[in-house]
Amino acid sequence: MTPPSEPSPLSPPARPALRLVDQAPSERADAARNRARLLEAAAELIQQQGAEHLTMDAVAAAACVGKGTVFRRFGDRLGLLFAVLDQTEQEFQQAFMFGPPPLGPGVDPVVRLEAFGGAALRQLHANMDVYLESDQQASARYNAAPRRVRARHIEVLLRSAGVQGDLELLAGALLATLDPAPVHHLLTERGRTVDELEAAWRDLVARITHRC
């Protein structure tokens, strides 16, 4: 799915007609219920045991279905993990694209960029184990719909702030500071705090937008 274009950061936004992450095909009511039951079982297992211990077998057993049903529904373990993250990503995307400022529209784009990094870091911190497990394959990481939406959002804000240059690469550089593995390393191995990383994000935004 191609990331949606955004309204002007300072104009009243229109509500999206489609979900902001990859839209699953239309489902029968029973199929939708089965999917919800599988995701609920997966979320409970993650809460109890951690995402690193999540298996398709365990989800199937917890949901009282055959393992083949889980594979048919999600493809593989990575697909299941992305589906678990889907709900929090939808909520976050709604907040930064259509919610109140400073994260949402209605204020200076640099202010929105600063707020975006802080909100993304705190969401990552709250769901770190799931993000780490779903970030194992580089190709999946860069092609994932949530990341493409975030990249598009940052590009729009950089352009609105009058930043010149290759906005795709600049957005990628900013997004790299929000990747799960390096953030986890800084928090657990280097003793940094989320507040410190948020301050570093604001400093990087200031340098890129020439507002140091």
Query: Of the ranges 27-41, 44-58, 78-92, which one carries the lowest mean pLDDT score?
Result: 27-41
- Shared domain for 39 and 97, answered yes or no, is no
- Shared domain for 39 and 117, answered yes or no, is no
- Shared domain for 44 and 104, answered yes or no, is no
Contact call for residues 51 and 132 (beta carbons, < 8 A): yes
pLDDT tier for residue 6 given thresholds of 50, 70 and 90: low
68: containing domain: 27-75
How remote is the C-alpha of 74 from its chain's centroid? Answer: 18
27 vs 100, residue with greater confidence? 100
- Shared domain for 120 and 164, answered yes or no, is yes
- Shared domain for 31 and 109, answered yes or no, is no
Residue where a domain stops, chosen among 48, 75, 102:
75
- pLDDT of residue 107 exceeding 70: yes
pTM, rounded to two decimals: 0.78
**Domain harbouring 115, CATH code:** 1.10.357
Contact call for residues 179 and 135 (beta carbons, < 8 A): yes
- How does pLDDT run across 134-176, given as a tens digit for each residue? 887 767 778 888 899 999 999 999 999 999 999 999 999 999 9
- Shared domain for 86 and 164, answered yes or no, is yes
pLDDT tier for residue 32 given thresholds of 50, 70 and 90: confident
Q: Tell me what the mean pLDDT of segment 184-207 comes to.
A: 97
**Domain harbouring 48, CATH code:** 1.10.10
- How does pLDDT run across 128-141, given as a tens digit for each residue? 999 998 887 767 77
**Token pair belonging to 110:** 């640099």
Which residues contact residue 15 at a Cβ distance below 8 angstroms, ignoring those fewer than 6 apart? 98
